[in-house]
Structure 1
Amino acid sequence: MAKIAFILLCHKDPEGIIRQAERLTAAGDCMAIHFDARARPKDYQRIRAALDANPNVAFARRRVKCGWGEWSLVQATLNAVERVLEAFPDATHFYMLSGDCMAVKSAEYAHGFLDAQDCDFVESFDFFDSDWIKTGMKEERLIYRHPFNERSQKRLFYGWFNLQKRLGWTRDIPADLQMMIGSQWWCLRRRTIEAIMEFSRERRDVMRFFRTTWIPDETFFQTLVRHLVPEPEIRSRTLTFLMFSDYGMPVTFYNDHYDLLLSQDFLFARKISPEARRLKARLGDLYASKGVRFEISNEGRGLYKFLTGKGRQGRRFAPRFWETEASLGRERELLIVVCKKWHVAKRLAEHARRATNVPVVEYLFDEEATELPDLGGIQSTLEKRARHRRALMRMLFDYHKTDRLLICMDPANVDLMRDFCSDRATTRLLLVECTYSDDYLTGHAKRVGLAGEQTGAETLARLLPTIRYDLRHEGDMIRDANFANLHRIREWATPSENTVPLAAFLSIPEPAAEEIAAAEHLYAD
């Protein structure tokens, strides 16, 4: 059975560290603690006094002063790992933690999870080819030497960096290493840790290289695991649930996040707020519990992204400026059916095609699988279609040898509607307003990744009003845009009420429009 050795790096909150160590070791696991040498001596003494008698807790023999982005964080980890190897020969897995982490599953579940998979869990992406680094320095982290701390020695850090850059003082990356990058929150098997420690003793050249790289805690273990462990034995993911805001700051969890945290496919989470006492107490009790079943829905990141993106002026993004392309053609007419329920729009478009013989292209800007002819690659991805939308539409007009074309579009694409309506071609919009039951909204949430099959009723109850308002807001945005040729039909209106706007939109006689409006099952879910 798995026995976890926790590698705990911490620098504050001695009472919290003591409670965390007692909770985790009470389940039979063990721990090595590295308490930052910069921290207050009396805090360290408090921790030692409380935990020295615990046979499942050990302390790094040598403490180092840690700084963000420095090699010191890796050295502190290696010091704690060395102590674990010596003190706990029966430990099977080494799990990296911080003082802000807490278990979101029971020890029973965690041990069973690790027993079932003979592999290492570490985020490990190609340093150069992946987009793990979003902004700032990339290869400069490696090819230049960084002996100074960017936060506490900013002038020295950037002065030395600029000097190396100006004089061309670059260095080579060790030739036999493929540089990898990822989160520092890993869980590795004992044999992997032993291989890393042996490698670090034998390859002093590699150790010298990493000592002066910038933010080596995101590259050292990630690179060495890939170098030493066969690919099938690595899972490129962390078992610690963490999220970051738009500004690159870690998202903090509070008391009301308990159910969300338990439903994620992770064993731990960070950062737990120091003020979230009730959450900490509940999670602490959970780790020691037996027989708990966990329903994994794993919608946390999608849910956070969706909910935090609402409520701000501008609906998250400022108005976009689209590149100007050539006109679709003054003599052409583009008909756009706008509907959130795609199946409704597709039925309506098919009825319109039969009545008018106008070619129909369904959700080409929303659905990757929309059937399109080969247009030289411009149709290959949603991103290309949106970027070259006018060129794409011109090619579709030409392909179908027509001056009238009908497409379907999601109401979220107001920017595309504005662009087409500003063209010299005639653009008509038909907004199809539908009713949205709770069942439909729940299905919608699952389709777009905001919820999973196991998402609890309480979470859905909080989520559905936001989704409902968001759909209503999209319709309001379209109406507020004051499009010249906007027509509306409503699911709750009678066929005769929907006949006039349908006839105007399609430029067909009212009897033909009424036949479409009265079509059976048009709005059925």
Structure 2
Amino acid sequence: MAKIAFILLCHKDPDAIIKQAQSLTAVGDCMAIHFDARAPRQDYRRIRAALADNPNVTFARRRVRCGWGEWSLVAATLAAARAALDAFPRATHLYMVSGDCMAIKSAEYAHAFLDRRDCDHIESVDYFRSDWIRTGWKEERLIYRHWFNERTQKRRFYAMFELQRRLRLSRPIPGDLEMMIGSQWWCLRRRTVEAVLDFARARRDVMRFFRTTWIPDETFFQTLVRHLVPEAEIENRTPTFLLFTDYGMPVTFHNDHYDLLLAQDYLFARKISPHATDLRRRLGVLYASEGARFRVSNEGRALFRFLTAKGRIGRRFAPRFWETESSLGRNRELLIVVCKKWHVAKRLLDRVRQLTNLPCIEYLFSEENARLPDLGGIQSTLAKRHRHRRALMRMLFEYYETDRLIVCLDPANLDLIEDFCRDRALTRILEVECQYSDAYLSGHALRVGLAGDRTPAEALARLLPAIRDDFGHESDRIRDRGFENHLRIREIDSAEANAAPLAQFLGVPHDQARGIAETPHLFAD
């Protein structure tokens, strides 16, 4: 059975470190602690004194002064790893954690998880071909030597880089290594860590190279594990759940994230707020629990993208320069049905087709498989349709040999609505306002990946109001724009009341519009 030796790198909050060590070792796992040499000596003494009688805790023999982006972080990890291997001969896995990490599964679950497959769990992707580094330096991290800390010695750091660049003092990457990159939070088998330490002793040239690379904690283990371990024995993902903002800062979890964290397909989470005392208490108890069952739905990343993307309004794709002044045609009419419930809009368009001769196209900018004629490839992907939106619409007018065309758009596509309303063609908007039951919102969350089949009911119940508010916000944004020819029909209104805006939108007699408004089960889910 798996036995974990945790490698804990920490630099503050001695009380939290003591509790973390006691919690993780209470069920038989062990821990090697490296406490930053920059931290107060009295804090270190306090931790050692509190854990002195715990046989499952050891400390790195040498404390390193750690700095972000420096080799010191790798040196501290290696020191703690050596201490763990020496002190705990029965440990089968070494798991890298920080003082901000906490278990989000029980020890029973974690051990079974590690026993399930004999492999190393580490995110390790190609340094140059992947997009792991989104912005900033890439090759420069490796081919130049970095002796100073970028955060505390910024002027020296960049002056030395500029000097090397001007004098062309770049260096080669060790020829037998394929550089990899990934999260520093890994769980490696004992024999893998032993192989890394043996390699480090034998290959001083590689160690010299990494000592002056920038941010080596994202490349050292990731590269060497790939070099030493067969690919089939590597699970290419971190076992620790972590999120980053658009600014590259880690997301912090608080007391109300307990259910969300437990539903993620990970063993630990980072970062837990130091002020989330209730969350820390509950997670501490959880690790020692027996018989706990976890409903893993793994929607955390999708939820974070959903919640943080709200309010960032802008065009999805910039228009091509040749389309900037293009027009659908001054004498043409584009009729846009805007509805969040796609099945309702499609049912409405089916009825319009039956009673009029207007060509109707459903959600061509949202559904890859929307029914479109062959227009020479411009219709082949959603990206092309968005990018060449006006050219696509002109071609559809020409294909159907008409000056009037109906399309469906999702309310989220405000950029498209605005673009078409600025055109010389006459544009009318018919907004279809629907009611949203909890059952429908739950189904929507499942369809778009905000929830899974195993998402706890409590977590889903907290999510539904956010989705309902988001739908309302999309509708408000459209109304706030004050578009001309903006009409609306509502599920709560009678067919007679909805007939008037339908008649104006379609340009048909009132009786014909009432026939459309009376479509059986128009708003049914």
Q: TM-score, normalised by structure 2?
A: 0.94
Residues 239-258 of structure 1, C-alpha deviations (whole Å, 9 max, x = no match): 11112223322222222222
| 8 Å CA contact 1:427, 1:485 repeated in 2 | yes
State the AA in 2 paired with 1:488: R
Q: Which residue of 2 aligns with 1:371?
A: 371
Distance 1:358 1:204, change over 3 A: farther
Further displaced range: 125-134 or 407-416: 125-134
State the shift of 1:135 in Å.
2.0
Q: Which residue of 1 aligns with 2:471?
A: 471
State the AA in 1 paired with 2:370: T
State the shift of 1:325 in Å.
4.6
| 8 Å CA contact 2:179, 2:223 repeated in 1 | yes
Q: Which residue of 1 aligns with 2:74?
A: 74
* Structure 1 alignment gaps of length 5 or more: none
State the AA in 2 paired with 1:388: H
| 8 Å CA contact 2:339, 2:345 repeated in 1 | yes
State the shift of 1:74 in Å.
0.7
- Distance in 2, matches of 1:100 and 1:483, equals 49
Residue 424 of structure 2: SS of its match in structure 1? coil
Residues 376-407 of structure 1, C-alpha deviations (whole Å, 9 max, x = no match): 54334333322221122223333334333221
- Distance in 2, matches of 1:128 and 1:378, equals 32
Residue 459 of structure 1: SS of its match in structure 2? helix
Q: Which residue of 1 aligns with 2:55?
A: 55
Q: Which residue of 1 aligns with 2:266?
A: 266
1:88 and 2:84 aligned: no
Q: Which residue of 2 aligns with 1:316?
A: 312
Residue 278 of structure 1: SS of its match in structure 2? helix
- Distance in 2, matches of 1:524 and 1:232, equals 50
Residue 442 of structure 1: SS of its match in structure 2? helix
Further displaced range: 68-77 or 397-406: 397-406
Further displaced range: 373-382 or 86-95: 373-382
Q: Which residue of 1 aligns with 2:137?
A: 137
State the shift of 1:374 in Å.
4.4
| 8 Å CA contact 1:325, 1:391 repeated in 2 | no
Give the CA RMSD over aligned residues: 2.0
1:19 and 2:30 aligned: no
Distance 1:522 1:252, change over 3 A: same
| 8 Å CA contact 2:314, 2:415 repeated in 1 | no
Residue 295 of structure 1: SS of its match in structure 2? coil
Distance 1:337 1:293, change over 3 A: same
State the AA in 2 paired with 1:9: L
What does 1:245-256 correspond to in 2, within 5 Å? 245-256=245-256
Distance 1:422 1:289, change over 3 A: same
* Structure 2 alignment gaps of length 5 or more: none
- Distance in 2, matches of 1:317 and 1:504, equals 30
Residue 195 of structure 1: SS of its match in structure 2? helix
| 8 Å CA contact 2:317, 2:387 repeated in 1 | no
Residue 8 of structure 2: SS of its match in structure 1? strand
1:423 and 2:423 aligned: yes
- Distance in 1, matches of 2:34 and 2:420, equals 61
| 8 Å CA contact 2:144, 2:171 repeated in 1 | yes
Distance 1:372 1:120, change over 3 A: farther
Q: Which residue of 2 aligns with 1:486?
A: 486
Further displaced range: 367-376 or 483-492: 367-376
- Distance in 1, matches of 2:349 and 2:175, equals 59
Q: Which residue of 1 aligns with 2:446?
A: 446
Q: Which residue of 2 aligns with 1:208?
A: 208
Q: Which residue of 1 aligns with 2:236?
A: 236
Q: Which residue of 1 aligns with 2:117?
A: 117
State the shift of 1:375 in Å.
4.0
State the shift of 1:98 in Å.
0.3
- Distance in 2, matches of 1:288 and 1:141, equals 42
Tell me how many residue pairs correspond in the alignment. 521
- Distance in 2, matches of 1:472 and 1:217, equals 45
Residue 470 of structure 2: SS of its match in structure 1? helix
State the AA in 2 paired with 1:90: R
- Distance in 1, matches of 2:300 and 2:292, equals 20
